[in-house]
Structure 1
Amino acid sequence: MPARFLAGAPTRLYLNDTFVGSLFKDLGLGRPANQDKPGFSIEISPEQVDQAAADVIFYSLYGDAAKSDQGKITEGALWKNLDAVRSGRVFRVDDNLWMLGIGYTGAGLILDETRKDLTTATPGG
């Protein structure tokens, strides 16, 4: 599940009609029903972080972290209770690549990073 913390805006969970969402769809990576649908994104508040529930979370930050909900979310109990967080399957990714890097080169780099993260993650943290 791709998520993006944005300075001055709500956190976004990216859906299938985004570049990275389409890559995940093409790979056949299972996603929760609320995220596996057409559209660009779902905007969530820190109180709605349960909508980010997934087996794996890839997240990025655009802009100043202090002006985003990143700290409120990642330091909160709701985030810490997500299965992906508890099992150590949360990965910070490069926003420029994952959210702005489209095309064959971007896809190849994202796929390489995804494979590396998914094969080296330690279940249970």
Structure 2
Amino acid sequence: MGETCVPAHPKRVIILSPFSLLSNALTLGVKPIGSTVHSIQDLNANYPSEQAHLGEEIEGIQQIGLATDPNLEKILLLKPDLILAWEDARAIYPLLSQIAPTVVVPSNMPNWKEPKWKDQFSFVAEVLGKEAVAQKVMNKYYQRLEELKVALGNRYQNQTISVASAIGYNNFTFVKNSFIGSILDELGLQRPPAQNVVAPNGAIYNISEERLEILDGDILFFPVHNIGAREAYEKLKHKPLWKKLKAVQKGQVYLVDFWAWIVWDDPSAASVVIDDLYKYLVNAP
């Protein structure tokens, strides 16, 4: 795609991703003038579900179509000085680059076996000229991690922490090289053997009901994001093998926000995760 001449301090940024790229920019103090959204339902929503943890920060950002089908006419009318896009925008890169300098963020940095969220955040910070801000954000993240480690002490050193979810009939779990897996690893928390591995996209998908033991741990965090996911969870609760899971028998299954735990992959989502870990692992009776 060649080299792109990026303005040193872009003022009118378009984000072609409703997930971590948008949150990265906001965390760095750059409010985009426009962003794509995740679903058709979100086109008519002031605060789409996947952006809930950003609160009022997203107010006033123009919606410019779906992430899979951005509206080029709207983008042109907004007169951006920089377009920041995910890799699925490569097909329309020639058109985007005619509107404004366009940077495509690599999806695997450095490779699929390693969590990519910190590298992505650094990449976006460099593009936006916000390296100093990024350093402060990450310093805060590491400070909170250390404080949480102290608060946890050694009470969970012999317990395993599982993270699993379901959508429809698809049960899946998140492993070491996922966003959440990297946070748990940095905290020194143990994972179940089946989840203490690396996998493409940081997850093991299509886990059948006969193999629900892969989801098990002493504690199970179960991210949910909509009514469908909650319905899938309710259906699982009635399965005989589900009832045999250690976390279920101990009453230690906790529902958490899917978008923050699984999708966003960025420092603001990490802050939500840390808050949840305090809630369920430190402040719980």
What TM-score bracket applies, with the shorter chain setting the length? 0.7 to 0.9
Question: Which residue in the other structure is 1:47 paired with?
Answer: 210
Q: Counterparts of 1:1-125 in structure 2 under 5 Å?
A: 1-7=162-168, 10-39=170-199, 40-43=202-205, 44-65=207-228, 69-122=232-285
Which runs of 5 or more structure 1 residues have no equivalent in the other structure?
none
Q: How many angstroms does 1:120 deviate by?
A: 4.1
Once the two structures are superposed, residues 24-77 of structure 1 have per-residue CA deviations (whole angstroms, 9 ceiling, x without a partner) of: 111111111111111221221222111111011011235552797434322112
Q: Percent identity?
A: 28
Q: How many residues align?
A: 121
User: 8 Å contact 2:175–2:196 — kept in the other structure?
Assistant: yes
| Structure 2 residue matching 1:50: 3-state secondary structure | helix
Equivalent residue letter for 2:203: S
The structure whose Rg is larger is: 2
| Structure 2 residue matching 1:93: 3-state secondary structure | strand
Segments ≥4 residues shifted beyond 4 Å: 66-69
Equivalent residue letter for 1:3: A
Q: What value does the CA root-mean-square deviation take over the aligned residues?
A: 2.1
Partner Cα distance (1:87, 1:120) in 2: 17
Under a length normalisation based on structure 2, what TM-score does the superposition of the two structures give? 0.39
Partner Cα distance (2:265, 2:257) in 1: 13
Equivalent residue letter for 1:110: V
Equivalent residue letter for 2:175: L
Under a length normalisation based on structure 1, what TM-score does the superposition of the two structures give? 0.83
Which runs of 5 or more structure 2 residues have no equivalent in the other structure?
1-161
58-67 or 77-86: which moved more?
58-67
Partner Cα distance (1:3, 1:111) in 2: 17
Partner Cα distance (1:96, 1:75) in 2: 25
Partner Cα distance (2:183, 2:167) in 1: 22
| Structure 1 residue matching 2:185: 3-state secondary structure | helix
Partner Cα distance (1:85, 1:73) in 2: 11
Between structures 1 and 2, the one with greater helix share: 2
Partner Cα distance (1:19, 1:66) in 2: 20
Q: 1:67 to 1:85 in 2, by over 3 A?
A: closer
| Structure 1 residue matching 2:211: 3-state secondary structure | helix
